[in-house]
């Protein structure tokens, strides 16, 4: 695992140093234990510290920006689209069954460090990794976790509906997706 001391001069490092976190490995451990939840502004990943929660997007974007501020190029931020189903995302099965869907394409944000995937937000309760059902992925920068990620995800779903001849409209699929997110957030 990559580790490096946090700079005394970078903004995100200062937020962590107030909590006696002085290196990247400790930052990963701290952010990993933060509860899952959307912050008040999805584009401001620094809020994970003050609001004591975060999503895959905000937690991983924070760590990527922390690496940038500390001149660590080995840490890369990715968004991927995977086939979200009960096997890889425990809790969504009943929702998908209600609509007779095997899966819904879901966007997920994660890191790659020296080419190795690091995901601090998925639980071990899932039977398989989302990696096993990854449909596409793209490297991004931290500022792209809000509008860019949502637009990229929505465009993928629109194309999927057409390509797979799904009988639901985009709005219906997005609503079903939100039901799935609510089911795993409980």
DSSP-derived secondary structure letter, 130: G
Q: How far apart are CA 89 and CA 68, in angstroms?
A: 30
| Percent share of the chain, pLDDT over 70 | 95
> What are the pLDDT digits (tens) for 141-165?
999 999 999 999 999 999 999 999 9
Radius of gyration of the chain (CA): 17
103, 84 Cβ separation under 8 angstroms: yes
Average pLDDT over residues 106-134: 80
Mean pLDDT, all residues of the chain? 92
Q: Count the Cβ atoms, other than its own, within 10 Å of residue 144.
A: 19
**The tokens of 85 are what?**
């189903």
Residue 38 confidence (pLDDT): 84
Spans of all domains in the chain: 11-69, 78-185
Give the per-residue pLDDT at 124: 47
What is the structure's pLDDT at 9?
Answer: 87
CA 46, chain centre distance (Å): 15
pLDDT in tens, 24-77: 999 999 999 999 888 999 899 999 999 999 999 999 999 999 999 999 999 999
43/32 Cα distance (integer angstroms): 19
3-state secondary structure of 185: helix
Residue 105, pLDDT score: 97
Contact between 59 and 120 (Cβ < 8 Å) = yes
Pairing type for strands 75-84 and 104-113 reads antiparallel
């Amino acid at each position: 695992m990559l580790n490096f001391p946090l700079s005394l001069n970078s903004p995100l490092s200062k937020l962590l140093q107030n909590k006696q976190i002085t290196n990247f490995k400790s930052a990963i451990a701290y952010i990993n234990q933060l509860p899952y939840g959307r912050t008040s502004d999805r584009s401001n990943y620094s809020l994970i510290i003050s609001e004591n929660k975060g999503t895959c997007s905000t937690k991983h974007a924070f760590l990527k920006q922390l690496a940038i501020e500390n001149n660590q190029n080995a840490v890369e931020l990715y968004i991927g689209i995977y086939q979200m189903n009960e096997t890889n995302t425990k809790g969504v099965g009943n929702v998908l069954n209600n609509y007779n869907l095997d899966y819904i394409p879901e966007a997920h944000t994660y890191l790659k460090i020296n080419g190795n995937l690091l995901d601090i937000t998925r639980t071990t309760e899932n039977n398989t990794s989302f990696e096993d059902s990854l449909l596409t992925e793209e490297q991004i920068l931290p500022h792209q976790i809000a509008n860019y990620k949502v637009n990229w995800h929505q465009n993928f779903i629109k194309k999927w509906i057409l390509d797979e001849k799904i009988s639901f409209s985009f709005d219906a699929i997005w609503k079903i997706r939100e039901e799935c997110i609510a089911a795993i957030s409980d």
